[in-house]
Chains A and B, each alone.
Chain A
Amino acid sequence: EAGVAQSPRYKIIEKRQSVAFWCNPISGHATLYWYQQILGQGPKLLIQFQNNGVVDDSQLPKDRFSAERLKGVDSTLKIQPAKLEDSAVYLCASSPRRTGELFFGEGSRLTVL
């Protein structure tokens, strides 16, 4: 069974530029999460999808972050414009159900200069 795929693995941009991350969850997983993780800390939920609907985006900085999950399968997370404090690893995870085990991708490490 293929795992959660994320790209790119690494991205370096200047502040005020834009960036997009892509995630392809495990086939059949209805729930998809985007997390932000600062080095050595626990993940912070940015947005949770159930199929193609948003369940929780209360911690998403909506003035600069956006996310979509078209057709309830893969998802993109966009940051525009980026700030220095956005430097982090962006983790995508999927789950077969809302309270189930999360399967994580390897993450996309963003550095904003």
Chain B
Amino acid sequence: TQLLEQSPQFLSIQEGENLTVYCNSSSVFSSLQWYRQEPGEGPVLLVTVVTGGEVKKLKRLTFQFGDARKDSSLHITAAQPGDTGLYLCAGVGSNYQLIWGAGTKLIIKP
């Protein structure tokens, strides 16, 4: 059974600070997706990483896919209150199954 462990589960920081969220697995994924979900809404895709070692930037968000395609990280620089939400990673595993992390609840205090 493929698992995707996401950490931390909860993070509360001040506006302007930096943070990193991790998704780790012992399994290889063909690609990995990051979503953000706001209260009362469905998750919205932020980025998909496909190639081992790939780095993608979305304004102040930097996403990295591990060289072995078993792990990924999301780094936010100078966090803002608008970044508050539940961050979810999801890896495309064997048989095209989408394996979800448990989520990181992020709160940015003004």
Question: CB within 8 Å of B: which residues of A?
Answer: 4, 40-45, 56, 91, 93, 98-99, 101-107
A98–B98 alpha-carbon span in the complex (Å): 9
Which residues from chain A contact B64 at a C-beta distance below 8 Å? none
Contact A99 B92 (CB under 8 A): yes
Q: What residues of chain B lie closer than 8 Å to A43, measured between beta carbons?
A: 43, 88, 100
Chain B contacts to A: CB under 8 angstroms = 6, 30-31, 33, 35, 40-45, 48, 86, 88, 90, 92, 96-98, 100-103, 105
Write the nearest CB–CB distance from B87 to chain A, whole angstroms: 10
Query: What 5 A-B pairs are tightest by C-beta distance, nearest first?
Result: A104-B42, A42-B100, A98-B96, A42-B103, A42-B102
Centre residue among A4, A42, A98, A106 by max chain B CB count within 10 A: A42
Which applies to chain A's interface (DSSP): helix, strand, loop or mixed?
loop
* Alpha-carbon gap, A102 to B100, bound state (A): 12
- Which single residue of chain B is at the shortest CB-CB distance from A91? B42
With contacts A42-B101, A42-B102, A43-B100 known, is A105 near B92, CB below 8 A?
Answer: no
CB–CB A101/B33 < 8 A: yes
| Interface contact B42-A105, CB-CB below 8 Å | yes
A101 touching B48 in the complex, CB below 8 Å, given contacts A40-B103, A40-B105? yes
Name 28 interchain pairs, CB-CB below 8 A, sorted by A: A4-B42, A40-B86, A40-B105, A41-B103, A42-B100, A42-B101, A42-B102, A42-B103, A43-B88, A45-B98, A56-B97, A91-B42, A91-B43, A93-B42, A98-B96, A99-B31, A101-B45, A102-B33, A102-B35, A102-B45, A102-B90, A102-B98, A103-B45, A104-B41, A104-B42, A105-B42, A106-B40, A106-B42
